[in-house]
């Protein structure tokens, strides 16, 4: 089975997911003449929006590049991809919860919201671990030649690293909400850096395989 | 007429449908400091979300695989496909009703919500019965050779089986809401199993036809 | 410029438009145990939903078939297409207004809602008239040969007929809301019939041009 | 890396963005029999809708045409494109704010809403400046030959012009809300005119490069 229709469906889900994040912005209740103050108070929504946009965007870039190393898909890969998309769609709700709890400012609720976000991020990274493991053991699906399989070896620990970061973020949140937030942001920035690395090495290998 | 633009449009509808399910998650009303308890009370929304995501995802996999057996489309098939998409879009609302009625916990309302869901599922399966029958009688649209038409024979009873399961689920709901729910879930799991079977047999036949 | 990316964008807009119609279904306010009665009262939402789904679906089928007669696009055609999409997106709101006014049952408001719907439908048909006229005078964009231009001659009055039906529907609504509704539905059914005719004649001509 | 999947993802985001604008239309609160008056009062929503639809539509046309001059993409271009899409998604919220503040009619709030819109428009134009500069310096990504690079020279000041217009619009808003609005609209109309010019010159050059 060709990989293109699965990519198109995934692109659709990512595009919708990243775009409906904007529905979290709602015209606030405010007294006439005080819109500016009301908007400034919405900074947590903007903050959560930027973080989740960066996150979903990075995962899309990953998906985009990784699936370029594949020439075929099969039933198992379609199912894995569907579970990945499922995990991604869960990110919208904790985004709203983080924004809301930061607005209210109660520390216990902020902890709950951030841990929810961390758990979803952890779940997403686990589905990537699953995807990487599956593809590494099914070389018939990939465009890469036998001697290029080191590519998959090189990235196989990336998801485990992410899982560790998000696990640490959850633990840290119990002691300090700010340390937990820092680790969560570090995890997302790590994704972006890991993406740049994967993208570079992938292009190198694909060029050689021609 | 080529089949690809119809697939693209269908992929779009499925992608949107499966993604806007997340709009059912709304930040609950809660007293500061009690977000966790409020989120735990939202388990019916998560339950309904998982079920409908699995359902729509499975139907998309079906659609994806089945349309790969086709090389052409025509006006009738476009119309059948549109009716199938119509039936699919109806699933979002009973998903919200099931979540809401489970939250409130009134048995009479839960019955109504589940039967609504069952009726939509039954309608969806009927449109699949229509699709299968149509394609079986229009071999000019398919990539399969004459002696491979047994493929369509093999799957022709699948939609009828689904219709029976959902019919039983409706009846059972009047006696026991839990038995009804069990049958509904069984129907959706059945779809997934039937998909794996169809996918395997289809790949087998398409390979032979090359 | 190739026509395919414009088609992909248009397919996206149609797919989203037809799918977010379901957001008109909201869990109603109801006393526990009376969900069924509350759902039955929502029949206007289901009615408006079915009508608009049929309408948007038919216009998509039109778009799908008509653009298959084109081999190229240009700036003007891209702009015309964007105006067509603009007119299409306007249909969601009067759909909600028709559903709401039928629920409340005030005749003056129903009239307003139906006329709004009629005006949007009339606008949509005018954009089709523009599209047909443009393509008829730019034979360099079409796959059809010179002697097949009668195809565009044959359909050129279709949009004018639609405009007349919706114009009549508006007038009729002032005398009888039901006659107006009947004419509106007739207009949408007319689109579907016109589509079947266009689809048939187009396939005939395209086959001959190979 | 091929440019097509990035285009598909971008088309998806634009299509969703332009379509969910309609979610700003909500059935107003009104006394039975007074729907018409309530709808007339919604003119700011229609006004803001038309402006933003024209804006997003024009940017899509730009995107569509400009990416046709490219034959390849790379990691940097993917990231630039993602930032462009991010800036685009921000336009939905100020659209709602403009509509709301015009409805309420408080001048201070209107100023805030328009400046928010201007700032997003300014940000969008800056991302275009980034895109143009990047592509001008990476001729390996483009289909154009060396002697055709004057194409990118010709358009390189367009984003700076837009930034100036929106900057002026922000300043003007402090003195006169109507002058500010006029400049904002002028900026969007300027985009459309600039698009027509770019589209024409691009087609000319691409034809010559065959």
Reported as a single tens digit per residue, the pLDDT across D129-174 is 999 999 888 888 888 776 677 777 777 788 889 999 999 999 999 9
pLDDT (0 to 100) of residue C179: 95
Closest-CA residue of A relative to B13 is A12
3-state secondary structure B49-97: HHHHHHHHHHHHHHHHHHHHHECCCCHHHHHHHHHHHHHHHCCHHHHHH
Residue in C13, C112, C116 nearest the CB of D19: C13
Residue in C12, C65, C199 nearest the CB of B12: C12
B141 and B90 in contact (C-beta within 8 Å)?
Answer: no
pLDDT (0 to 100) of residue D129: 92
H-type alpha helices, chain B: 4-20, 35-40, 43-66, 75-89, 92-104, 107-136, 150-155, 158-175, 177-208
| Residue A148, pLDDT above cutoff 90 | no
Buried b (16+ CB within 10 A) or exposed e, B57-80: bbbbbbbbbbbbbbeebbbebbbb
Smallest Cα–Cα separation from C63: which of C207, C191, C206, C205?
A: C191
Distance CA A166, CA A184 (A): 6
| Residue C7, pLDDT above cutoff 90 | no
- C-alpha pair distances (Å), D49 with each of A20, C17, C120, D46, D195: 17, 15, 15, 5, 20
Are the beta carbons of B97 and C65 separated by less than 8 Å?
no
Chain D contact set for C108 (CB, 8 A) = 33, 35-36
Least confident piece of the model among B7-21, B85-99, B135-149, C84-98: B135-149
Length of chain A in residues, anyone? 210
pLDDT (0 to 100) of residue C209: 67
Average pLDDT over residues A99-110: 94
**ipTM of the complex as predicted:** 0.90
Distance CA A125, CA A187 (A): 10
B133 and B76 in contact (C-beta within 8 Å)?
Answer: no
Are the beta carbons of B27 and A100 separated by less than 8 Å?
yes
The pLDDT tens digits for D111-127 are 999 999 999 999 999 99
DSSP string, A67-129: GGGBS---HHHHHHHHHHHHHHHTTHHHHHHHHHHHHH--HHHHHHHHHHHHHHHHHHHHHHH
Residue in A8, A74, A86 nearest the CB of B8: A8
Smallest Cα–Cα separation from A163: which of A193, A190, A200, A198?
A: A190
- Distance in Å, alpha carbon of D114 to nearest chain C alpha carbon: 23
Residue in D20, D79, D106 nearest the CB of A33: D106
pLDDT (0 to 100) of residue B207: 74
Chain D contact set for C85 (CB, 8 A) = 18, 57
pLDDT (0 to 100) of residue D209: 67
pLDDT band at A145 (very low <50, low <70, confident <90, very high): confident
Subunits with 3+ Cβ pairs within 8 Å of A are B, D
R_g over Cα of chain D? 19
pLDDT (0 to 100) of residue B109: 95
Residue A142, classed as helix, strand or coil, is: strand
D167-176: long-range pairs with CB below 8 Å, 24+:
D167/D122, D169/D114, D169/D118, D170/D115, D170/D118, D170/D119, D170/D122, D173/D111, D173/D114, D173/D115, D173/D118, D174/D111
Q: Point out which residues pair with A70 in neighbouring strands.
A: A142
Smallest Cα–Cα separation from B191: which of B94, B122, B113?
A: B122
Low-confidence ranges of chain D (pLDDT < 70): 1, 146-147, 209-210
Q: Percent of chain A, pLDDT > 90?
A: 64
Smallest Cα–Cα separation from B2: which of A10, D6, C4?
A: C4
Residue in D19, D32, D196 nearest the CB of C89: D19
Total domains present in chain D: 1
D49 and D22 in contact (C-beta within 8 Å)?
Answer: yes
Buried b (16+ CB within 10 A) or exposed e, D175-196: eebeebbebbeebbebbbebbe
Chain B contact set for A104 (CB, 8 A) = 32
Distance CA D53, CA D80 (A): 23
Largest CA distance in chain B: 68
pLDDT (0 to 100) of residue D74: 85
The pLDDT tens digits for C22-40 are 999 999 999 999 999 999 9
What are the tokens at C169? 């529907």
Are the beta carbons of C5 and D27 separated by less than 8 Å?
no
Average of per-residue pLDDT values in chain B: 90
What are the tokens at C77? 């055609």
pLDDT (0 to 100) of residue D106: 93
C93 and C119 in contact (C-beta within 8 Å)?
Answer: no
Average of per-residue pLDDT values in chain A: 90
User: What's the gap between Cα B90 and its chain centre?
Assistant: 10
- C-alpha pair distances (Å), D81 with each of A53, B15, B85, D124, D134: 13, 22, 32, 11, 11
The pLDDT tens digits for A85-95 are 999 999 999 99
pLDDT (0 to 100) of residue A200: 82
Closest-CA residue of B relative to A3 is B64
What are the tokens at B196? 């794996």
| Residues contacting residue B137 through CB under 8 Å, at least 6 positions apart | none
Smallest Cα–Cα separation from B114: which of B191, B194, B168, B173?
A: B173
- The boundaries of the domain holding residue B11 are 4-209
Burial class (CB in 10 A: 0-12, 13-18, 19+), A4: middle
| Chain C residues near any Cβ of chain B (below 8 Å) | 7-8, 11-12, 14-16, 18-23, 25, 27, 30, 32-36, 39, 53, 57, 60-61, 64-65, 68, 196, 199-200, 203
- C-alpha pair distances (Å), C139 with each of C209, D68, D177: 14, 23, 47
DSSP string, A176-200: -HHHHHHHHHHHHHHHHHHHHHHHH
| Residues contacting residue B122 through CB under 8 Å, at least 6 positions apart | B162, B163, B166, B167, B170
Closest-CA residue of B relative to C6 is B5
Give the Cβ contact number of residue C138 at 10 Å.
14
Chain D contact set for C19 (CB, 8 A) = none
Residue B79, CA atoms < 13 Å, CB-side half-sphere: 10
Closest-CA residue of A relative to D85 is A19
Q: What is the pTM of this model?
A: 0.92
- Distance in Å, alpha carbon of A123 to nearest chain B alpha carbon: 15
Distance CA C99, CA C176 (A): 18
Distance CA A10, CA A3 (A): 11
Q: How many CB pairs under 8 A join A and D?
A: 86
Residue in A11, A27, A64 nearest the CB of D12: A11
pLDDT band at A209 (very low <50, low <70, confident <90, very high): low
Q: How many CB pairs under 8 A join B and C?
A: 86
Residue A131, classed as helix, strand or coil, is: helix
Strands (E), C45-198: none
| Residue C178, pLDDT above cutoff 70 | yes
| Chain B residues near any Cβ of chain A (below 8 Å) | 7-8, 11-12, 14-16, 18-23, 25-27, 30, 32-36, 39, 53, 57, 60-61, 64-65, 68, 196, 199-200, 203
Residue in D13, D15, D92 nearest the CB of A18: D13
The pLDDT tens digits for C125-144 are 999 999 989 988 888 888 87
Residue in C19, C65, C199 nearest the CB of B13: C19
Largest CA distance in chain A: 68
Average of per-residue pLDDT values in chain C: 90
Are the beta carbons of A1 and B68 separated by less than 8 Å?
yes
Residue D70, classed as helix, strand or coil, is: strand
Subunits with 3+ Cβ pairs within 8 Å of B are A, C
- C-alpha pair distances (Å), C195 with each of C55, C58, C66, C200: 11, 7, 10, 8
pLDDT (0 to 100) of residue A109: 95
Average pLDDT over residues A113-124: 96
Q: Point out which residues pair with D70 in neighbouring strands.
A: D142
pLDDT (0 to 100) of residue D3: 79
DSSP string, A28-59: PP--TT-HHHHHHTTHHHHHHHHHHHHHHHHH
pLDDT (0 to 100) of residue B115: 96
- Distance in Å, alpha carbon of C201 to nearest chain D alpha carbon: 31
Distance CA D15, CA D10 (A): 8
Distance CA B201, CA B144 (A): 12
| Residues contacting residue A73 through CB under 8 Å, at least 6 positions apart | A1, A2, A3, A6, A81, A141
Distance CA D207, CA D197 (A): 16
A70 and A89 in contact (C-beta within 8 Å)?
Answer: no
3-state secondary structure D123-191: HHHHHHHHHHHHHHCCHHHECCCHHHCHHHHHHCCHHHHHHHHHHHHHHHHHHCHHHHHHHHHHHHHHH
Closest-CA residue of A relative to D1 is A203
């Amino acid at each position: 089975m060709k990989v293109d229709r699965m990519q198109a469906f995934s692109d659709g889900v990512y595009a919708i997911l990243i775009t409906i994040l904007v529905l979290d912005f709602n015209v606030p209740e405010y007294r006439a003449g005080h819109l500016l103050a009301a908007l400034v108070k919405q900074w947590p929504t903007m903050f959560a929006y930027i973080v989740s946009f960066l996150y979903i965007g990075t995962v899309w870039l990953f998906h985009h590049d990784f699936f370029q190393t594949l020439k075929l898909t099969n039933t198992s890969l379609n199912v894995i991809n569907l579970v990945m998309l499922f995990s991604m769609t869960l990110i919208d709700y904790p985004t709203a919860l983080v924004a809301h709890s930061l607005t209210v400012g109660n520390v216990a609720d902020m902890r709950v919201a951030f841990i929810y976000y961390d758990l979803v991020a952890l779940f997403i990274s686990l589905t990537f671990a699953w995807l990487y493991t599956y593809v590494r053991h099914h070389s018939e699906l990939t465009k890469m030649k036998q001697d290029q399989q080191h590519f998959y070896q090189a990235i196989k620990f990336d998801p485990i690293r992410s899982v560790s970061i998000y696990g640490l973020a959850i633990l840290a949140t119990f002691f300090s909400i700010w340390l937990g937030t820092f680790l969560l942001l570090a995890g997302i920035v790590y994704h972006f850096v890991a993406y740049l690395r994967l993208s570079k090495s992938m292009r190198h290998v694909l060029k050689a395989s021609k």
